Amino acid sequence: MTANRGLSVHVGHELLLKLEAAGLDEALAQKIIQSEGNRLAMELVDSLKGRQALGWQEAQALMGEESFFGSEEWRKFFGEKFQLANIPEIPWSQSELENPGINQEHFLFLGLDQLDSKPLNLPAWQKLYPGGDNPKFCLDWYLSHKFAQGSCETRWYLMSVGIVEGSKSLSYDHQIAMLPDEYEVASAPERVTANVLYFLLNKKYLDIDWARTSDKCYGGSRVDIRGRSEGGLSISYWDDDASDLIGLSASRK
**Within-domain flag for 1:** no
CA distance 46 to 74: 33
pLDDT, residue 101, reads 96
pLDDT, residue 47, reads 57
Specify whether 40 is located in the same domain as 60. Answer: no
Q: Are 155 and 70 in contact (CB under 8 A)?
A: no
pLDDT tens readout for residues 47-70: 555 556 799 999 999 999 999 999
Specify whether 22 is located in the same domain as 86. Answer: no
Across 176-194, average pLDDT: 98
Specify whether 38 is located in the same domain as 61. Answer: no
Q: Using H for helix, E for strand and C for coil, what is the string for 46-101?
A: HHHHHCCCCCHHHHHHHHCHHHEECHHHHHHHHHHHCCCCCCCCCCCCHHHHHCCC
**Within-domain flag for 146:** yes
Q: Is the pLDDT of residue 165 over 70?
A: yes
Specify whether 169 is located in the same domain as 211. Answer: yes
Specify whether 19 is located in the same domain as 110. Answer: no
What is the number of structural domains in the chain? 2
pLDDT tens readout for residues 139-156: 999 999 999 999 999 999
Q: Are 146 and 190 in contact (CB under 8 A)?
A: no
Residue 163's SS3 state is coil
Specify whether 161 is located in the same domain as 196. Answer: yes
Specify whether 37 is located in the same domain as 150. Answer: no
pLDDT, residue 33, reads 86
Q: Is the pLDDT of residue 241 over 60?
A: yes
pLDDT, residue 1, reads 42
Structural domain including 215 reads 56-252
Specify whether 18 is located in the same domain as 86. Answer: no
**Within-domain flag for 243:** yes
105 pLDDT tier (thresholds 50, 70, 90) = very high
Q: Is the pLDDT of residue 13 over 90?
A: no
